[in-house]
């Protein structure tokens, strides 16, 4: 490695600080050697002010740097190069651009006001340079896009992408998943949550390989025109291979729009989930409020309680979540359940009633009861005929039989209650199976109170966890838990109104 050292002393320095040229040289040589220099060339200016750039030693150093004769430059401090900050910056930049590593000796120097200024300005310049490079790269991408090529950063599920060539091809294992997502959403009415759930149940890996499919990812896929062959990059559109046919894609867009329109007509006093929705952090029920959000008036749900009598004032700061996003999530879940009432039943009860077992136990109990009754009657008969005395033994027998009879009758009542619950459950589910299709077909024409009633029929509560900031497309970091309700509690009058 070729090293250079540069030393400078003005007459002033020597007088004021008492350091000599010889001392500077020795210190710089030692450092250069310690850093592994094999050749060390000296450049020196003695008795010349550092405010001028016109110094023989400095000029010689700069020309050596230009001729690639320097890998490492050791200087006591930036002040040796120049008295002026602008010159220091200029020279260090010039040297570094030529590939020279610059080493300053004095650590103390960094703690002086001049030193701090030098380093902070150099830091700012480095940052500025990085910005400029970034800017240039972005403009480079735009340029590529404008010319119809595919710029860097094409990462869409369903495609392979080679960054070096910008080549985009269809990924054979992911593309069928994309087609399924569109078909299920458009032709099966299972909603974005339903699509995500089905993919998770099928064990289809996400792009990242781990983690679950989420409705937001499904939405991004459904909205992305890349799947009909147009990749949107800023204001440009670039052609890529398509995966989904245009008709299906258009239908998906229509459906997405429909979902957005669903609540558009709701007035400021209409909240589909009032009474059902609560905050998991503070435990308060959440109420609907019509409030300013930026420059827009919006329906929201909040856990904040204004009234004096409230047990808890709610979270601090209070949650204010957009009503529409939560209502959409619940509505989608309702659609999923209507599509497959058995999933609702499974979610609502941990255990299905075992009707057959219950019935068998009831039969056994009735049998026992008959036996007990028979025994009791025969004792009473013999007593009545005066054949035996009512002694202690007989008394005890009778009391015992009476107790057994009571126990059995209680158990019988219990079983009958459970059985009638089971019948209601089974007939409720049966009813739901019969009419869910009809409800689904009329879903979009339901008015507010029908929608509200339908939600209350299938949902027992909605719990909001986390306080994610509402984004444009949903709630980041907010979890909406929708708890299913037992179909046995179906109020058939609600459905008869809807189905009619
Ligand atoms: Zn809260």
45-85 pLDDT per residue, tens:
988 888 888 899 999 999 999 999 999 999 988 888 888 88
Band (pLDDT 50/70/90 cuts) for residue 227 is: very high
DSSP state of 444: G
Position 379 scores a pLDDT of: 84
- pLDDT above 50: residue 285: yes
Query: Separation of 408 CA from ligand 1 center, angstroms?
Result: 49
More confident residue, 308 or 117: 117
Band (pLDDT 50/70/90 cuts) for residue 317 is: confident
- pLDDT above 60: residue 467: yes
Position 235 scores a pLDDT of: 67
Position 469 scores a pLDDT of: 58
| Least confidently predicted of 34-43, 137-146, 242-251 | 137-146
- pLDDT above 90: residue 180: yes
Highest mean pLDDT, choosing among 96-105, 174-183, 246-255, 452-461 = 174-183
| Least confidently predicted of 2-11, 106-115, 374-383 | 106-115
Which stretches does DSSP call E strand in 222-360? 230-233, 236-239, 277-279, 287-293, 296-302, 320-322
Query: Separation of 326 CA from ligand 1 center, angstroms?
Result: 15
Band (pLDDT 50/70/90 cuts) for residue 472 is: very low
Query: Separation of 272 CA from ligand 1 center, angstroms?
Result: 19
Query: Separation of 278 CA from ligand 1 center, angstroms?
Result: 8
Q: Cα separation of 22 and 8, whole Å?
A: 10
- pLDDT above 60: residue 471: no
Q: Cα separation of 264 and 261, whole Å?
A: 5
Band (pLDDT 50/70/90 cuts) for residue 447 is: confident
Position 386 scores a pLDDT of: 76
- pLDDT above 90: residue 42: yes
More confident residue, 381 or 273: 273
Contact 65, 100 (CB under 8 A): yes
Give the residue carrying structure tokens 């020309």: 63
- pLDDT above 90: residue 177: yes
Position 108 scores a pLDDT of: 67
Position 473 scores a pLDDT of: 46
User: To the nearest whole number, what is the mean pLDDT of the chain?
Assistant: 82
Query: Separation of 215 CA from ligand 1 center, angstroms?
Result: 24
Position 460 scores a pLDDT of: 86
The helix (run of H) or strand (run of E) holding residue 146 is: helix 113-146
Q: Cα separation of 219 and 221, whole Å?
A: 5
The helix (run of H) or strand (run of E) holding residue 15 is: helix 11-17
- pLDDT above 70: residue 499: no
- pLDDT above 50: residue 353: yes
Q: Cα separation of 457 and 466, whole Å?
A: 26
Contact 73, 58 (CB under 8 A): no
Query: Separation of 327 CA from ligand 1 center, angstroms?
Result: 18
Query: Separation of 317 CA from ligand 1 center, angstroms?
Result: 9
Highest mean pLDDT, choosing among 92-106, 137-151, 428-442 = 92-106
Query: Separation of 286 CA from ligand 1 center, angstroms?
Result: 8
Position 150 scores a pLDDT of: 64
The helix (run of H) or strand (run of E) holding residue 151 is: none
| Least confidently predicted of 55-64, 160-169, 322-331 | 160-169
Band (pLDDT 50/70/90 cuts) for residue 194 is: confident
Query: Separation of 263 CA from ligand 1 center, angstroms?
Result: 24
More confident residue, 304 or 106: 304
Position 71 scores a pLDDT of: 94
Q: How many CA atoms lie within 13 A of 494 on its CB side?
A: 22
| Least confidently predicted of 159-173, 231-245, 271-285, 415-429 | 415-429
More confident residue, 78 or 12: 78
Query: Separation of 64 CA from ligand 1 center, angstroms?
Result: 70
Other beta carbons within 10 angstroms of residue 173's beta carbon come to 9
Quickly list H helices, 98-226: 113-146, 175-187, 191-202, 215-223
Position 491 scores a pLDDT of: 55
Position 181 scores a pLDDT of: 96
Q: Rounded to the nearest 5°, which phi and psi values hold at 121?
A: -65, -40
Residues with catalytic annotation? 10
More confident residue, 47 or 185: 185
Query: Separation of 330 CA from ligand 1 center, angstroms?
Result: 19
Query: Separation of 281 CA from ligand 1 center, angstroms?
Result: 5
Return the sign of the alpha-carbon dihedral for residues 406, 410, 413, 419: negative
Query: Separation of 192 CA from ligand 1 center, angstroms?
Result: 27
- Segment 170-190 shows an average pLDDT of 92
Contact 301, 270 (CB under 8 A): no
Position 368 scores a pLDDT of: 87
Position 349 scores a pLDDT of: 67
Burial 56-83 (b: 16+ CB within 10 A, else e): ebbebbbebbeeeebbbbbbbbbbbbbb
């Amino acid at each position: 490695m070729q090293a250079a050292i540069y030393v400078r002393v003005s007459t002033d320095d020597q007088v004021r600080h008492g350091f000599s040229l010889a001392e500077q040289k020795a210190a710089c040589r030692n450092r250069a050697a310690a850093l592994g220099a094999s050749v060390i060339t000296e450049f020196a200016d003695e008795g010349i002010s550092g405010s001028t750039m016109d110094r023989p030693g400095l000029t010689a150093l700069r020309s050596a740097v230009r001729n690639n004769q320097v890998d490492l430059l050791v200087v006591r401090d930036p002040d040796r190069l120049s008295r002026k900050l602008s010159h220091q910056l200029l020279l260090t930049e010039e040297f570094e651009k030529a590939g020279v590593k610059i080493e300053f000796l004095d650590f103390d120097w960094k703690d002086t006001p001049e030193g701090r200024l030098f380093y902070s300005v150099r830091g700012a310049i480095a940052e500025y340079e990085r910005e400029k490079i970034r800017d240039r790269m972005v403009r480079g991408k735009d340029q590529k896009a404008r010319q119809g090529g595919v710029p860097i950063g094409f990462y869409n599920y369903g495609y392979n992408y080679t960054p070096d060539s910008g080549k985009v091809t269809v990924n054979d294992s992911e593309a069928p998943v994309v087609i399924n997502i569109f078909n299920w959403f458009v032709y099966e009415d299972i909603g974005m949550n339903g699509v995500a759930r089905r993919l998770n149940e099928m064990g289809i890996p996400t792009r990242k390989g781990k983690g679950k499919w989420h409705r937001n990812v499904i939405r991004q896929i459904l909205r992305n025109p890349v799947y009909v062959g147009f990749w949107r990059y800023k204001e440009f559109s670039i052609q890529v291979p398509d995966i989904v046919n245009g008709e299906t894609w258009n239908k998906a867009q229509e459906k997405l729009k429909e979902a957005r329109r669903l609540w558009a007509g709701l007035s400021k006093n209409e909240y589909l989930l009032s009474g059902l929705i609560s905050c998991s952090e503070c435990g308060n029920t959440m109420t609907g409020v019509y409030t300013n959000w930026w420059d827009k008036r919006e329906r929201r749900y909040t856990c904040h309680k204004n009234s004096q009598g409230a047990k808890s004032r709610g979270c601090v700061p209070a949650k204010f979540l957009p009503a529409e996003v939560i209502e959409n999530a619940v509505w989608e879940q309702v659609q999923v359940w209507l599509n497959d009432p058995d999933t609702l039943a499974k979610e609502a009860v941990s255990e299905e009633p075992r009707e057959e077992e219950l019935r068998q136990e009831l039969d056994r109990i009735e049998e026992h009861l008959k036996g007990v009754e028979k025994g009791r009657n025969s004792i009473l008969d013999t007593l009545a005929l005066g054949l035996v005395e009512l002694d202690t033994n007989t008394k005890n027998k009778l009391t015992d039989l009476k107790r057994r009879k009571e126990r059995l009758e209680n158990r019988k009542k219990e079983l009958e209650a459970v059985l009638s619950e089971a019948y209601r459950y089974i007939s409720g589910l049966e009813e739901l199976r019969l009419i869910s299709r009809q409800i689904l077909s009329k879903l979009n024409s339901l008015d507010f109170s029908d929608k509200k009633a339908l939600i209350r029929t299938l949902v027992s509560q909605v719990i909001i966890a986390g306080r994610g900031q509402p984004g444009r497309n949903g709630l980041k970091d907010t979890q909406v838990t929708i708890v299913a309700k037992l179909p046995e509690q179906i109020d058939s009058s609600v459905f008869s109104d809807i189905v009619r």
